[in-house]
Amino acid sequence: MYHENVFDFHHYDHTLKSFPLTQAVFQLRWDRILAEAEKCLLLCANCHREVHTFNDPEFIKTNPEGVE
C-alpha cells in the first residue's frame, strides 16, 4: 500500500484540461473538482514524469475506457 502523496492526477487529454488538480483548487466547488478528476488517470509520480518526458502514446491510452 502506498501513501496518497505519491500519486498525481494525469489528464489523459490535455485539450480537455480546465485546471490542474492541486491543493490550490480545493477552494473550488466540489462538483467542479470531481468533474476535472473524471478527465484524469491516477498515476504514481514516477510514471507521471515518464509519460510527460517520453510522451509515449502506448504507455497511457488517450481513452481511459479503452484501457485494458
> In 3-state terms, what secondary structure has residue 8?
strand
- 14-44 per-position pLDDT tens digit: 889 999 898 778 788 999 999 999 999 999 9
pLDDT for 68 equals 41
**For a pLDDT cut of 90, what percent of the chain falls above it?**
37
Q: Among all chains, which residue has been given the C-alpha cell 473524471?
A: 38
pTM above 0.75, yes or no: no
- Distance between CA atoms of residues 66 and 68, nearest Å: 6
- Arithmetic mean of pLDDT over the chain: 83
Q: Among all chains, which residue has been given the C-alpha cell 462538483?
A: 31
What does the domain layout of the chain look like in residue ranges?
4-66
40 or 59: which leads in pLDDT? 40
Closest CA to 37 of 66, 68, 7, 58: 7
Q: Which alpha helices (DSSP H) does the chain contain, by range? A: 30-37, 45-54
